[in-house]
Amino acid sequence: MAGFPGLERKFRRGRPRGVRVCVSVLEKEEKIAREVLKPPREWRPQPWSLQCMCGNTMSVPLLTDAATVSGAERETAAVIFLHGLGDTGHSWADALSSIRLPHVKYICPHAPRIPVTLNMKMVMPSWFDLMGLSPDAPEDEAGIKKAAENIKALIEHEMKNGIPANRIVLGGFSQGGALSLYTALTCPHPLAGIVALSCWLPLHRAFPQAANGSAKDLTILQCHGELDPMVPVRFGALTAEKLRSVVTPARVQFKTYPGVMHSSCPQEMAAVKEFLEKLLPPV
């Protein structure tokens, strides 16, 4: 599904000051979201659990300052999670720290700052350009493919450091979830699965032909708020239908949450944790 605008934020951190989206209703939604999307107190991580990547990461730019949540034990699996438009990896590192598994490393890179057509060319964190609200709107094909290659480089970095592809889950929220779907489906390495929250499949007309042969074995958790005004839940349902034409249909879970807008909720995070526990057990 093509682009959706700027209320792609998670928990405490929002979009840059001064950014005004092109659809006025978003201003009201954001005001509500400032209160609604605050995580419960118990979701706040311990300060020592969040780190920034350092060391030999110059060949993988997204790792240079990515936010991470380290495992308490030897790390044998990894979750790479991509934030939404206008956000940073820090807010999702905060959220994932509340459901962390002791043997799993969580990596939350930051999108580059680029002009976004849908937001009047304002410069903000964005994985690729967004051009319209309609599923039939033009898409930034070159930008999507470039962003996917950067995420694949991050995956390969983890593989070189001892975590096999089948122990890596790729996930994201909204625009980040969209990129995680496209990247995992076209990745030459057989990943463990995908966590796709409040999102759509970019360049959906190219599938199933564009998918890598190993994509049929991917396990996918797709979650969506039933009151989402930015990426309507029916777009999520259409995405799930398309995904079942690409991967083994029984491997796609599509969960919806009553009363939830373009955000996450404790029930959704519990579902993510359960999914990861089954997909990435201790070894």
Question: Would you name the residues annotated as active-site residues?
Answer: 174, 228, 262
Q: How far apart are CA 90 and CA 97, in angstroms?
A: 11
Helix ranges (H only) for 161-186 are: 175-186
Q: How far apart are CA 263 and CA 98, in angstroms?
A: 16
Q: State how far the alpha carbon of 43 is from the alpha carbons of 11, 164, 211, 222, in Å.
A: 10, 29, 36, 22
How many CA atoms lie less than 13 Å away from 163 in the CB half-sphere? 24
Q: Rounded to the nearest 10 degrees, how much is the dihedral formed by the CA atoms of 65, 70, 75, 81?
A: -60
Please check whether residue 197 is in contact with residue 181, taking contact to mean a CB–CB distance below 8 angstroms.
no
Helix/strand/coil for 38: coil
Please check whether residue 233 is in contact with residue 265, taking contact to mean a CB–CB distance below 8 angstroms.
no
Two tokens, residue 254: 């599509």
Residue that the structure tokens 């937001």 belong to: 119
Question: Which residue type occupies 45?
Answer: P
